[in-house]
């Protein structure tokens, strides 16, 4: 049985989920990209671009932003598999409807719970990877989830984002 206590020293790749392009950057669905960008900035690495991803490498960890749009995020997994990186050595950063805004946690495995980016990744390598779940809360009208995740954070939420990104990075990098 694998270790169920998160150890950042065992992580070899961090995938931030989001959609490419400036119109999406500050939306709820793109918090993974924003956290990855901040890690890259703090570690001084620059991204390389390939057909389906932007990636950078710190001393020991690949930082990945899929450029395939959310529903095809898993298409970056073969790149990591070719590097010999196993699912339990991967951390995926994603927005989480089931958590209130600002609630951030790390967990191993689980279902996609309707998150299309996670569904795609699970389709490529199964469920046994680490996830940083960044709470975005649910819209008042549950039928409006698709629109909700593609809207920017509210002004008062956006004012807290920098601190929450820092909190998230502190969970990932020790």
**Which sequence positions are flagged as catalytic?**
29
- Give the pLDDT confidence score for residue 4 in this predicted structure: 79
Q: How far is 26 from 112, CA to CA, in rounded Å?
A: 22
Strand partners, 66: 53
DSSP β-ladder status, 48-49 and 90-96? unpaired
Order of all β-strands in the sheet with 48-49: 48-49, 53-57, 62-66, 13-16, 90-96, 130-135, 104-108
pLDDT digit string, tens, across residues 7-25: 999 999 999 999 999 999 9
Residue 144 — very low, low, confident or very high, per pLDDT cuts 50/70/90? confident
pLDDT digit string, tens, across residues 150-166: 999 999 999 999 999 99
Residue 77 — very low, low, confident or very high, per pLDDT cuts 50/70/90? very high
Residue 79 — very low, low, confident or very high, per pLDDT cuts 50/70/90? very high
Q: How far is 162 from 157, CA to CA, in rounded Å?
A: 10
In this predicted structure, the answer to whether residue 142 has a pLDDT above a threshold of 80 is no
**What DSSP string runs through 95-142?**
EETTS-TT-EEEEE----TT-HHHHHHHHHH-S-SEEEEEE----SSG
- Give the pLDDT confidence score for residue 56 in this predicted structure: 97
In this predicted structure, the answer to whether residue 111 has a pLDDT above a threshold of 70 is yes
Q: Are 16 and 95 in contact (CB under 8 A)?
A: no
* Contacts with 124 (C-beta within 8 Å, 6 or more apart), sequence order: 74, 75, 77, 78
In this predicted structure, the answer to whether residue 1 has a pLDDT above a threshold of 80 is no
Give φ, ψ of 69 to 5 degrees.
70, 155
- Give the pLDDT confidence score for residue 2 in this predicted structure: 59
pLDDT digit string, tens, across residues 21-72: 999 999 999 999 999 999 999 999 999 999 899 999 998 999 999 999 999 9
In this predicted structure, the answer to whether residue 3 has a pLDDT above a threshold of 70 is no
């Amino acid at each position: 049985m694998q270790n169920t206590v998160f150890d950042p020293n065992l992580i070899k790749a961090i995938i931030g989920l989001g959609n490419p392009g400036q119109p999406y950057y500050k939306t709820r669905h793109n918090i993974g990209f924003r956290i990855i960008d901040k890690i890259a900035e703090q570690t001084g690495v620059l991204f390389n671009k390939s057909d389906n991803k932007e990636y950078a490498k710190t001393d020991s960890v690949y930082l990945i932003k899929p450029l395939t749009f959310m529903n095809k995020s898993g298409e970056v997994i073969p790149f990591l598999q070719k590097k010999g990186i196993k699912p339990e050595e991967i951390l995926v950063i994603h927005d989480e409807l089931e958590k209130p805004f600002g609630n951030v946690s790390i967990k191993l495995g689980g279902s996609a719970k309707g998150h299309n980016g996670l569904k795609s990744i699970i389709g490529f390598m199964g469920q046994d990877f680490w996830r940083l779940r960044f709470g975005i809360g649910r819209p008042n009208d549950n039928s409006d989830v698709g629109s909700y995740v593609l809207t920017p954070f509210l002004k008062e939420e956006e004012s807290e984002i920098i601190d929450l990104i820092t909190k998230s990075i502190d969970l990932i990098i020790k």
